[in-house]
């Protein structure tokens, strides 16, 4: 099993989620993160004091799935998250050794 971690632009979340559901992916977990990268942040000014805010709001999507589904899932994420502009984000793949569904105790692919 693998875990896909995708860092994407917040307003792309809905489409990515739809795309993944269509693939038959039944679960995912998202969280709000702030990203630092090539995409420039923005300037803020409070009473004349200027701050350069380097971090940009992003959404992190985590999906644990069978290794065999990784390529399709990555493709969907790329298609749905891409705007072509800098800051579209990244997809990382991390190995997962076990997965358990708390409610039933099922493990492995049944847990997903």
Partner 1 sequence: MDTGDTTFILICAALVMLMTIGLALFYAGMVRSKNALGTIMQSFIIIALITVEWILWGYSMAFGPDKWGVIGGLEWFGLRGVGMAPHSVYATTIPHQVFMIYQCMFAVITPALITGAFAERMRFGPFLLFSLLWATFVYNPLAHWIWGDGGWLGRLGVLDFAGGVAVHLSSGVAALAAAILLGKREGFGTEELRPHNLPMTLLGAGLLWFGWFGFNAGSALAAGSLAGSAFVATHVAGTTGALAWIFMEWRVTGKATTLGGASGAIAGLATVTPAAGFVGPISAAIIGILAGVGCYLGIMAKNRFGYDDSLDVVGIHGVGGVLGLLVTGLFASVAINPGGADGLFYGNPAQLGIQCVAIGITMIYTFVVSYILLKVVDKLFGLRVELRDERSGLDITQHEETAYNF
Ligand X SMILES: Nc1ncnc2c1ncn2[C@@H]1O[C@H](COP(=O)(O)OP(=O)(O)O)[C@@H](O)[C@H]1O
Distance (Å, whole) CA 20 – CA 62:
12
Query: 105 phi and psi, to 5 degrees?
Result: 80, -5
Residue 90 touches a copy of itself, criterion: CB under 8 A: yes
| Choice from 22, 31, 38, 43 touching partner 1 (CB under 8 A) | 43
Is the torsion defined by CA of 28, 31, 36, 39 positive or negative?
positive
Element (H, E) at 73: helix 70-81
With contacts defined by CB under 6 A, name the span among 15-23, 42-50, 61-69, 74-82 that binds ligand X.
61-69
Distance (Å, whole) CA 62 – CA 5:
5
Residue 102 touches partner 1, criterion: CB under 8 A: no
**Least distance to a copy of itself, CB of residue 47, Å:** 21
Among ligand X, a copy of itself, partner 1, none, what binds residue 96 when CB lies within 5 to 8 Å by partner kind? a copy of itself
Binding interface with partner 1 (CB under 8 A): 11, 14, 42-51, 53
């Amino acid at each position: 099993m693998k875990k896909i971690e995708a860092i994407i632009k917040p307003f792309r979340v809905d489409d990515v989620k739809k795309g993944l559901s269509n693939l038959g992916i039944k679960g995912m977990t998202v969280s709000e993160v702030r990203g630092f990268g090539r995409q420039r942040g923005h300037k803020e000014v409070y009473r004349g004091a200027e701050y350069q805010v380097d971090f940009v709001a992003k959404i992190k999507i985590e999906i644990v799935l069978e290794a065999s589904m990784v390529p399709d899932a990555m493709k969907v994420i790329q298609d749905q998250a891409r705007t072509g502009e800098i800051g579209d984000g990244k997809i990382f793949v991390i190995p997962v050794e076990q997965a358990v569904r708390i409610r039933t105790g099922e493990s492995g692919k049944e847990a997903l």
